[in-house]
Amino acid sequence: MLKDITIGQHYPTGSLIHRLDPRTKIIGTFVFMAGLFMIRDFKAYLVVMALLLMVITGSKVPLRYVLKGLRPLMVLIMVTFFINLFMTRGTVFFQLGPVNMTWEGLRQGVFMALRLIFLIMGTSMLTLTTSPITLTDGIEHLLNPLKRVGVPAHELAMMMTIALRFIPTLLEETDKIMKAQMARGADFESGNLIHRAQSLVPLLVPLFISSFRRADDLAMAMEARCYRGGENRTRMKALKWQQADAAGLVLMSAFMGIMLWLRWY
């Protein structure tokens, strides 16, 4: 299960999507999220699906790898589906005691589940196609205008990128601790859901210790390299807008225009 989490991981393929400016991909991700939350019927999901397939194909990231990231969140998706199925009032098609299933609830449950699935797939493409260093530079450039009001743009960008980068690292560390404890007789797979959750409690102490140790090693490494924040910092590769970035922004503008048209007309 832990190996299925793709959030924060980078999948290098050298594709056109990977070579895009990180600012283009960050802006495109936010536009995608905004358009996704404007959808009111299932027809608009066809546009979202077409855009996602276009991006995944252009990135050369295997579709199976992208879909693998949905497995750890499948419980959340199913909970969302059943909450809408049981809590939405309307025409009842199945009744078992106080529990009612309505056609309106079924429609709303499928609708919300699809929204979560597309949201996860779309946002994961940002980290899959962008390295942590370029992602930091892109976030910092977009936050630079906020420096005038005292917002530490570089520090915020660095913290967000380190947090994303440490997700797969901590998952790998968790997997190692679980295997070490299973070799000593620990059981994480038998029993009901509550019992499995209780069996994970012994993982927390060694995981916290390992996390603080890694954070301390990272801080020492940054100090050893004379890291002093973003002031007067130079970069080996400067960010430059290219024609492909302009085409990407035009594509996302067209996507937002279609979403607005489908919502209001």
Percent of the chain surpassing pLDDT 90 = 29
Q: What is the CA radius of gyration of the chain?
A: 22
Q: How far apart are CA 23 and CA 256, in angstroms?
A: 17
**pLDDT digits 0-9 by tens, 51-93:** 999 999 999 999 888 888 888 788 889 999 999 988 888 888 8
- Residues whose CB is less than 8 angstroms from the CB of residue 4 and which lie 6 or more positions away in sequence, other chains included: 68, 69, 71, 72
* CA distances in angstroms from 245 to 16, 21, 237, 252, listed in the order given: 10, 6, 16, 11
Q: Which of residues 228 and 94 earns the better pLDDT score?
A: 94
- Would you state the pLDDT for residue 232? 65
Instruction: Decide if pLDDT at 138 tops 60.
Output: yes
What's the pLDDT score for residue 2? 52
Retrieve residue 127's tokens: 């980290």
> Which residues, listed in sequence order, are joined to residue 101 by a DSSP beta bridge?
94
User: How many contiguous H segments (helices) and E segments (strands) does the chain have?
Assistant: 11, 2
Q: Tell me the per-residue pLDDT of 158-168, one tens digit each, with 9 for 90 and over.
A: 787 787 778 77
Asked if pLDDT for residue 192 goes beyond 90, the answer is: no
- pLDDT of res. 251: 93
Taking CB atoms within 8 Å and a gap of at least 24, the contacts of 143-147 are none
Above 70 in pLDDT, residue 37?
yes
Q: Which amino acid is at 138?
A: G
* Mean per-residue pLDDT of the chain: 84
Percent of the chain with pLDDT over 70: 92
DSSP character string of 122-169 = HHHHHHHSS-HHHHHHHHHHHHGGGGGGT--HHHHHHHHHHHHHHHHH
